[in-house]
Structure 1
Amino acid sequence: MATQQWTGGSNPSPIDFPPAPHGVVSPPSLEKLSCSSPSVGQVRDPDPISYVSLQEQRCVLSWFQGWTAAQRERFLQDLLGKAVPGKVCTLLDSLNTLQVKDRLPNIFECQLRLWTQWFESWGEEERNHFLHILEERDPAFVSHFYRSVAGTAGRD
């Protein structure tokens, strides 16, 4: 295979570079990258999800996959408190989970702290994206979440 070398005399063009070997898939162009699934009847493109937020969301979803049922329930209560802040029922539930401890936090507690920091830094579109991806991974969990949100209606 003959190779061409660029001597620096002018700007190289795409034909100055050898083609990719057969079977190698080139990366998608930036214009074709999308972090969200297209939805039917959508009028405008959603705001793009930042790379950092996407990595944070993937991290939380990875943790979620490994959590026990009790840890997922605790996460659900935390998510519910974030979705409907200020509702008395969620504030009381959150207060019930607070404990003064003489020991270091466990891994799950550290994960929840990071989750809270990340969630607070996400915009509305990024939060909705997280919920959408979580729903793809565990539809029953998200369905339970929506029922819980609906259950807070009318409570002050």
Structure 2
Amino acid sequence: MARDAAPLSYVTLQEQRCVLGWFRGWAAAQRERFLQDLVAKAVPGKVCSLLDQLGAMQVKDRLPSIFECQLRLWSQWFESWSEEERNGFLGSLEETEPSFTARFYNEVAGTAGRD
């Protein structure tokens, strides 16, 4: 994939590789939850994120799962990436998981016109 964009920093590149590695190991339900979080990040204010809802509940009767920890790290990293880096991540995800990325773009398109 030819890009004129500036190269990613080493740290960002490692974060993105880490998320893609996790993604490959996630079950279908985990990928679905990630998809909803990704859509919520792409169109904030138009989608109520499941993770936001769960975070607001403040349930502390059990330790978080490894998957929940991965999503927390993903969110922290994503927030620190520039728009260009975020787009680069989507490009990498599209190269490895084109059907998932197509679903993401369809979900984002489905939010058009919502307030």
Q: TM-score, normalised by structure 1?
A: 0.68
Shift of 1:91: 1.4
Shift of 1:62: 0.3
Shift of 1:56: 0.3
How far, CA to CA, are the matches of 1:123 and 1:92 in structure 2? 21
Shift of 1:96: 4.8
2:46 corresponds to 1:82: no
What residue identity is the alignment partner of 1:53? T
Report % sequence identity. Answer: 68
Equivalent pairs counted in the alignment come to: 113
2:94 corresponds to 1:147: no
The structure, 1 or 2, with the larger RCO (C-alpha pairs under 8 Å, 6+ apart) is 2
RMSD: 1.5
Shift of 1:94: 4.8
Q: Which runs of 5+ in 1 are unaligned?
A: 1-36, 40-44
Shift of 1:125: 1.0
Alignment of 1:110-129 (within 5 A): 110-129=69-88
How far, CA to CA, are the matches of 1:143 and 1:101 in structure 2? 36
Select which of 38, 43, 49 maps to 2:2: 38
**Distance change in 2, residues 1:61/1:91 (3 Å):** same
Q: TM-score, normalised by structure 2?
A: 0.91
What residue identity is the alignment partner of 1:91? C
Larger C-alpha radius of gyration, 1 or 2?
1
Q: Deviations over 1:49-76 (max 9, x none)?
A: 1110000000000000000000000000
Structure with the bigger percentage of helix: 2
Shift of 1:82: 0.3
Aligned residue in 1 for 2:29: 70
Q: Deviations over 1:114-141 (max 9, x none)?
A: 0000000100111011000001111000
Q: Which runs of 5+ in 2 are unaligned?
A: none
Tell me the secondary structure at the aligned position of residue 113 of structure 1. helix
Shift of 1:101: 4.0
How far, CA to CA, are the matches of 1:52 and 1:85 in structure 2? 25
How far, CA to CA, are the matches of 1:96 and 1:51 in structure 2? 33
What residue identity is the alignment partner of 1:49? L
Tell me the secondary structure at the aligned position of residue 38 of structure 1. coil
